[in-house]
Amino acid sequence: MSAINDDLFEKIKQLPPQRRAEVEDFVVFLLTQEERRLKQAVTKASEPVFAEVWDNDEDAAYDRL
């Protein structure tokens, strides 16, 4: 592990339990944001591919149902 990681872990260990729980909640929040950002990026990247499949005369018949 890098010195930065070791230093961070040592600082977290020095916190009282309630504060460590807050740190954990914040990390979960950050991970959730990152996951959401990645999902949005994948969705955006897949739009052109799906447009080719969905935007055609054959598929338009299903749109009218």
The 3-state secondary structure of the chain reads: CCHHHHHHHHHHHHCCHHHHHHHHHHHHHHHHHHHHHHHHHHHHHHHHHHHHHHCCHHHHHHHCC
Question: Per residue in 1-53, pLDDT tens?
Answer: 588 899 999 999 999 999 999 999 999 999 999 999 999 999 999 999 888 77
| Statement: residue 65 has pLDDT above 80 | no
pLDDT band at 59 (very low <50, low <70, confident <90, very high): confident
| pLDDT score recorded for residue 64 | 78
| pLDDT score recorded for residue 1 | 59
Where do the structural domains in the chain lie, given as residue ranges? 17-63
| pLDDT score recorded for residue 15 | 98
What is the pTM assigned to this prediction? Answer: 0.64
